[in-house]
Structure 1
């Protein structure tokens, strides 16, 4: 059954301005049962023309402490309250209550059920667990993998490796620099680092070298790769959707160094953790092409007219081409997932208020 928006049009006309921020899609379902595999973004986009305003649908529902925690089997019902505001009501079948399991001590405890993820986890997980951005100096300071006991240069699971002295911690990661990230002025803002493998530090009496055993390899390790504590990849998985406000930045590229990007691609933006947080939703805006001078046939972006004219180059207005959401932040950059795009996304596209 679909939600009859026209039935409530006369009410919406008289709503105060702040309520008009939430616009219900005309084809929004009146009732929807959450399924395994749904994401919070998918469900939000089913109801709202601006999915990042999802929490607004729950603003008057005191029974929902966290609108980002929705579980498979939950039934969502779209209603109009007495104030004429659209809101969602959630009902959870008693059979879907958390099951009981035995703890190691033999006590009964709740078996936690998994809420639907905010984003498609299969897409972002490799970047949450397997990639990080840091400065070149930070990476260079990490201890190196030197060799193994067979004096080879490529290593895999269960191999024992000799490295420079590493932090005194049981678990380590093996990292490799993949590429250098430049901002739109070609200034270096960090290096992309790939997590190659997990490793265990083997206790020894050496004061000069570390002995490590490779445990879980995603790619082969080589001499010269770096060792780091697992905490270097850790970041809170608490992603709550919120709209960007005054933040403005650019797409700098992606981990695969593709020039053309689109929906469900992970990109790097030039905004750090002091400017955005995981869950920040931003619009993607494409700048118009360079304007050609009709008299000379020379592009306004050409170096030639710049010799004779110091005026700022006129640019056509940028047009919105999609949305993205930040999911992992660093000092000067962040990873973001393109949620939708109507045009090809390229380096230099603007990100800002959606």
Structure 2
């Protein structure tokens, strides 16, 4: 085990008693990344763990994982992998988490061999993901957020083989529009408009994902249709439905981090058309890449504080009547966190993480304090 000097040990014990705060790259204390007072000395990584879950065993805010490892911004943007069998070790003297492996000793008692950083070579299948990737995988390429301008310019299905109303797998679809050299496309149908809760303006359309098609024969002239073959079908597709290029295969591991600039967003919608969301459900917020959000951004969820009458104002005693009393806004209540995993220009999808209340449309999602 790692040996401490007497002074370092006293510092570690004091820090543990008060909730040790992680140090930043410049050595300053970051109060928002405090360790739990009862944080364990170490945790052996097992299959099924996530970085978020492991972090929650040590930290008051699990998204602080990269900070307590001392990762810089460029490193955070790239995947960093941890594997089952490795040991996450709490170095109390430095306020850091370290990665180690169990090794034998002459006495038969295993010790921890520390490594200077997280393992990064390759994208192994056994690697521990940052968050439960199975929850968000269906949302990494679908549904789609499209703007009004995009709707006007994307290719569209204009006819079907033998006049079919509904297309099935392996059916032909005839398409008009500029393919921009693409060969594989998603088929979608524009859904209801998404409105900014603050301004009421339409900021995008959440399009319903219908399936995929593949180019079989490109049009030879401007007045000829392209021929596509239906590859997969999720929902009914037919004439009038639109095509968007299939996005590249996403990386399924993300490192959580706060946004570089201050972000004050609002919940626009809950996926599935309901008004409330719980843990591990998907929501959209009215901020995107133009506002500094990127994959892995963590925001904290708040419920607006109510505006109430101060019934003791100017009277010196409590009164049930609110007439003429001063209005006072109660503080916003922080009740959870949101992990952004897919970003468009003005809208982002986020996974609801730990919450103590339901997420409602119009709630605030802002940069961590």
For the criterion TM > 0.5, the same-fold answer is yes
TM-score with structure 1 length normalisation? 0.78
Cα distance 1:268–1:164, how it changes in 2: closer, same or farther (>3 A)? same
Equivalents in 2 of 1:37, 1:180: separation in Å? 38
Cα distance 1:194–1:117, how it changes in 2: closer, same or farther (>3 A)? farther
The Cα of 1:78 is off from its aligned counterpart by 2.1
**Selected match of 2:237 from 221, 224, 240:** 221
1:242 correspondence with 2:262: no
1:162 correspondence with 2:174: yes
Matched with 2:57 is 46
Equivalents in 1 of 2:54, 2:170: separation in Å? 43
**Selected match of 1:318 from 308, 322, 332:** 332
Equivalents in 1 of 2:239, 2:79: separation in Å? 48
Matched with 2:113 is none
SS in 1 for 2:141: helix
1:289 correspondence with 2:306: yes
1:279 correspondence with 2:293: no
Cα distance 1:171–1:325, how it changes in 2: closer, same or farther (>3 A)? same
Cα distance 1:295–1:249, how it changes in 2: closer, same or farther (>3 A)? same
The Cα of 1:339 is off from its aligned counterpart by 0.4
Consecutive unaligned residues of structure 2, counting only runs of 5 or more, are 1-8, 22-26, 104-121, 311-319
Q: Which stretch has the larger CA shift, 179-188 or 131-140?
A: 131-140
Equivalents in 2 of 1:326, 1:113: separation in Å? 23
Equivalents in 2 of 1:332, 1:48: separation in Å? 32
Q: How many residues align?
A: 317
Cα distance 1:190–1:264, how it changes in 2: closer, same or farther (>3 A)? same
SS in 2 for 1:52: helix
Matched with 1:199 is 213
**Selected match of 1:77 from 81, 84, 89:** 89
1:35 correspondence with 2:39: no
Matched with 2:97 is 87
SS in 2 for 1:22: strand
Cα distance 1:123–1:211, how it changes in 2: closer, same or farther (>3 A)? same
Contact 1:58-1:67 at 8 Å conserved across structures: no
Consecutive unaligned residues of structure 1, counting only runs of 5 or more, are 94-109, 301-310
Contact 1:79-1:89 at 8 Å conserved across structures: no
Q: Which stretch has the larger CA shift, 323-332 or 252-261?
A: 252-261
Equivalents in 2 of 1:236, 1:315: separation in Å? 43
Matched with 1:146 is 158
Contact 1:68-1:118 at 8 Å conserved across structures: no
Contact 2:79-2:253 at 8 Å conserved across structures: no
